[in-house]
Amino acid sequence: MTVVEGVQIACLIVGAYLVGAIPVGWLVCRVGFGVDIFKHGSGRSGTTNVYRTAGTGAAVIVFCGDLLKGFVPALLARVLVAEFQLVPVIVAVLATVGHNWSVFIGLRGGRGVATSWGSVMALVPAAALVGIPLGIFTVAIGRYVSLASLAGAVGFLIGGIIFYAFGFGVDGFGVGLIAVFVIFLFSQHLDNLPPFSVNAYSLVANQFIDRKPKRNCTNIPDCFAGIF
């Protein structure tokens, strides 16, 4: 590794956190609507809480901004330092860490799903073809926020493993990135998981067979609250 490459990698790593830490949701609500997003809804600065607080237009801006916070740093790392395969993974993780614990707003933020999606889309786009539809399908059927978020994350991992096994645009580092992403999202949603009953069937029955809404989740936008 040359000095120039070392400086480049350091800038990418530090820059990933700082870009991820840009509080898009907080800025849109504070500047555009004069409200503190942390005092409304879930107390998070992600897309759905912005939707509930400021409406559809603001939510679209925030979703795109949060997605790009993960996508752009990861893509830059993939293009600029492709020979150092671990660096894009570190960059992707730090972008999401920055989103969740932004230094600009007192180490607060969202849950990291949109930013993680952006990172995975940049580094392992094939896996997103499985993860995103699975997450949307789960929330539409099961009506449980955390279950859908985690199902989507697992879908990314399954998709990555399948495409890796068939040699379709996914390498071992890509699968490793998704595994880190899955573990990270699980840790962020532990407080949202329902208490497990005696057997797994009971959980499945409650979420999918009975389809009883959880947390007063009566429509798709409300069901996504807390994911982002």
* Residue-range domain boundaries for the chain: 3-223
pLDDT band for 188, please (50, 70, 90 cuts): confident
Report whether 109 contacts 99 (CB < 8 A). Answer: yes
pLDDT band for 51, please (50, 70, 90 cuts): confident
DSSP secondary structure letter of residue 228: -
- For the segment 159-186, the average pLDDT, to the nearest whole number, is 80
- For the segment 163-179, the average pLDDT, to the nearest whole number, is 79
Residue 24 phi, psi dihedral angles, 5° rounding: -55, -50
CA distances, 199 to each of 85, 144, 210 (Å): 41, 18, 16
Two tokens at 161? Answer: 């493993």
Q: 142 or 199: which carries more pLDDT confidence?
A: 142
pLDDT band for 214, please (50, 70, 90 cuts): very low
Other Cβ atoms less than 10 A from the Cβ of 4: the count is 8
Say what the pLDDT of residue 11 is. 94
Average pLDDT, the chain: 79
Residue 48 phi, psi dihedral angles, 5° rounding: -70, -40
pTM of the model: 0.76
pLDDT band for 216, please (50, 70, 90 cuts): very low
pLDDT tens-digit readout, 108-151: 998 888 898 888 888 888 888 888 788 778 767 866 655 766 78
Two tokens at 12? Answer: 């990418």
CA distances, 159 to each of 4, 41, 149, 175, 225 (Å): 36, 33, 15, 9, 25
Q: 59 or 200: which carries more pLDDT confidence?
A: 59
Report whether 122 contacts 71 (CB < 8 A). Answer: yes
pLDDT band for 56, please (50, 70, 90 cuts): confident
* pLDDT surpassing 90 at residue 1: no
